[in-house]
């Protein structure tokens, strides 16, 4: 989860396709958002991952802003899935260490493997 505008700026830089095309990435404390130009279009991104196209002082939801929002939110959702998977694997490791709960730990690992397999399209 994004905790600060500095983290949001870094997240945008790492996530937006073709990051070399990002110009004038700025943190705007007053609006509580990150602003930047990407491929000649000016954007404003809120910590909620809402993306707006800026034209002058007006904000618009456009096709490109919606697409950029999907890109930013997708990565965030994927990170949550992987964090949960890692936590579950750690729980399974702890169960395996306890002699009488080894089977439950192995079953939990199998469930994680099956779930991750479904996410990547393996049945």
User: Which sequence spans correspond to the domains of the chain?
Assistant: 5-74, 77-118
Q: What is the pLDDT along the chain (123 residues), one digit of tens a residue?
A: 788 999 999 999 998 888 899 999 999 999 999 999 999 999 999 999 999 999 999 999 998 899 889 888 887 677 777 777 888 888 888 888 887 888 888 887 887 777 777 766 765
DSSP state of 28: E
Following CA atoms 8, 11, 17, 18 in sequence, which dihedral angle do they give, to the nearest 10 degrees?
Answer: 90
Distance CA 75, CA 68 (A): 11
């Amino acid at each position: 989860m994004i905790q600060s505008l500095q983290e949001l700026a870094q997240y945008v830089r790492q996530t937006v396709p073709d990051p070399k095309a990002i110009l004038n990435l700025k943190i705007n404390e007053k609006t509580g958002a990150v602003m930047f130009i990407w491929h000649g279009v000016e954007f404003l991104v809120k910590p909620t991952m809402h993306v707006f196209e800026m034209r002058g002082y007006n904000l618009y939801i456009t096709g490109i802003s919606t697409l950029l929002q999907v890109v930013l939110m997708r990565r965030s959702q994927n990170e949550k899935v992987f964090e949960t998977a890692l936590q579950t694997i750690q729980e399974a490791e702890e169960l395996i260490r306890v002699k009488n709960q080894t089977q439950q730990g192995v079953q939990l690992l199998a469930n994680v493997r099956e779930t991750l397999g479904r996410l990547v399209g393996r049945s």
